[in-house]
């Protein structure tokens, strides 16, 4: 009972070699540190410190002139009392939901079809990936031209071919968000297709062979071999897409600037407005408070998601 934990462990392990600064230098410690230094420096200044500072700033009032003052939860209260917050959250949820309905099944379907064709996978993958290569800003500005609301606009002309009346696209509060989602889906689908395709191509051929020995039809093979083999990738891609759409910024910012009538204001656009588009000077406290809330929400969401899917994939 009198033996302290320290003595007990000292008895079990050989006494550790004394490492003074001199042995450290002679052992190459300085050279190692020189290699580690670029990483340590950029991560400290541009990643770890800003993350910590984000939390600190959310309970401070910060401007660029006076030293920051502690204000408790005032920033959070101010954000929660902002009438636009509800709109922004609902819009973001709407975007995420539309993007799931539209953008999630299409890449899976395309990848399955592409994995089935005997020839031309290379050229199909290249074509599918092309939109991903177009710089996002160019893509949005180009689609803005496509969405021209006049009857001679690119999409309206195409609708005219099949006898549909011209649509207002970005100019109507009802259609603005779906228009954004269609462009975002077009821009991102290629990347998902390539990931699913690679997953499909690594399904062991023996599984299909075995299913055939048991007399499985094409549909049964798809349902009992392909789907279970893809399940892991689908789970990961689903949460990644939700995390990405929760942070949607470029499309609403460049297409509509949040309009018409605030129909496309998203959470990230609101953060941007608090910090950088404020006539009263940047309200950095409110911006960081909202970012911290969003980050905590996303962290909880992914945590719950992984617990849930883990249970599904093990049972």
Partner 1 sequence: MTTEVSTRASQRAALAATASAPGTEADARRTRRRRRPMLEDTRGIVSEADLRQRKVRWSMRGVHVFLSVTLVLAGLGPILWLAKAAVTPTQDTLRQPFALWPNGIDWANLSTAWNDIHIDQYFFNTIVIAAGAWAFQLLVATTGAYTLSVLGPRYAKVLGSLVLATLFIPSVVLLVPLYLTIVDPPLLGRDFSLLNNYLAVWLPMAANAFNILLVKRFFDNLPREVIEAAKTDGAGPFRLFWSIVLPMSKPILGVVSVFAIIAAWKDFLWPLLVLPDPAVQPLSVRLPAVQSQTELDVFLAALAIATIIPIAMFLIFQRVFLRSAGLGGAVKG
Residues 66-105 within binding reach of partner 1 (CB under 8 A): none
Nearest to 59 by CA among 81, 80, 75: 75
Q: Which is nearer to partner 1, 77 or 145 (CB)?
A: 145
Q: Do the Cβ atoms of 256 and 170 come closer than 8 Å?
A: yes
7 touching partner 1, by CB under 8 A: no
Q: Which of 157, 167, 171, 278 binds partner 1 (CB under 8 A)?
A: 157
In the complex, least distance from residue 113 CB atom to partner 1, rounded to whole angstroms: 5
271 touching partner 1, by CB under 8 A: yes
Q: Which is nearer to partner 1, 8 or 27 (CB)?
A: 27
Nearest to 193 by CA among 104, 119, 123: 104
**72 contacts: CB under 8 Å, gap ≥ 6:** 59
Rounded to 10°, the helix 83-103/74-81 angle is 70
Considering only residues 94-153, where is the footprint of partner 1 by CB under 8 A? 110, 112-122, 124-139, 141-143, 145-146, 148, 150, 152-153
Question: Per-residue contact track with partner 1, 176 to 215, x per CB under 8 A?
Answer: --------x-xxx-xxx-xxxxxxxxxx-x--x---x---
Distance CA 25, CA 93 (A): 55
Q: Which of 165, 218, 279, 280 binds partner 1 (CB under 8 A)?
A: 218
First CA to last CA distance, the chain? 47
Q: Which is nearer to partner 1, 12 or 202 (CB)?
A: 202
In the complex, least distance from residue 2 CB atom to partner 1, rounded to whole angstroms: 32
In the complex, least distance from residue 1 CB atom to partner 1, rounded to whole angstroms: 33
Nearest to 192 by CA among 109, 306, 96, 301: 109
- How many residues of this chain interact with partner 1, rule: CB under 8 A? 122
Distance CA 26, CA 30 (A): 8
H or E element, residue 312 = helix 284-314
Q: In angstroms, how far is CA 159 from the centroid of its own chain?
A: 32
Considering only residues 221-260, where is the footprint of partner 1 by CB under 8 A? 221-222, 225-226, 229-230, 232-233, 235-237, 240-241, 243-245, 247-251, 253-254
């Amino acid at each position: 009972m009198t033996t302290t934990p320290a003595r007990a462990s000292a008895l079990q392990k050989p006494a550790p070699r004394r490492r003074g600064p001199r042995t450290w230098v002679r052992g190459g410690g300085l050279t190692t540190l020189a290699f580690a230094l670029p990483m340590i420096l950029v991560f400290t200044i541009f990643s770890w410190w800003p993350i910590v500072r984000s939390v600190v700033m959310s309970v401070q009032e910060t401007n660029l002139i006076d030293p920051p003052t502690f204000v408790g939860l005032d920033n959070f209260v101010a954000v929660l009392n902002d009438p636009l917050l509800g709109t922004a959250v609902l819009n973001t949820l709407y975007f995420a939901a539309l993007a799931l309905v539209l953008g999630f099944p299409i890449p899976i379907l395309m990848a399955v079809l592409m994995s089935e064709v005997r020839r031309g996978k290379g050229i199909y993958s290249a074509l599918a990936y092309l939109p991903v290569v177009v710089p996002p800003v160019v893509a949005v500005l180009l689609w803005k031209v496509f969405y021209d609301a006049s009857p001679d606009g690119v999409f309206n002309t195409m609708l005219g071919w099949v006898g549909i009346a011209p649509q207002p696209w970005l100019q109507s509060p009802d259609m603005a968000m779906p228009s954004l989602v269609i462009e975002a889906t077009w821009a991102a689908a290629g990347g998902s297709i390539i990931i699913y395709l690679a997953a499909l191509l690594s399904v062991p051929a023996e599984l299909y062979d075995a299913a055939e020995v048991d007399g499985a039809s094409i549909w049964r093979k798809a349902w009992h071999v392909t789907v279970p083999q893809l399940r892991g990738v689908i789970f990961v891609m689903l949460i990644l897409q939700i995390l990405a759409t929760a942070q949607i910024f470029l499309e609403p910012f460049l297409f509509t600037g949040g309009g018409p009538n605030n129909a496309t204001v998203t959470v990230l656009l609101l953060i941007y407005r608090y910090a950088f588009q404020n006539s009263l000077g940047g309200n950095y406290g409110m911006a960081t408070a909202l970012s911290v809330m969003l980050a905590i929400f996303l962290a909880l969401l992914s945590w719950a998601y992984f617990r849930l899917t883990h249970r599904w994939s093990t049972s």
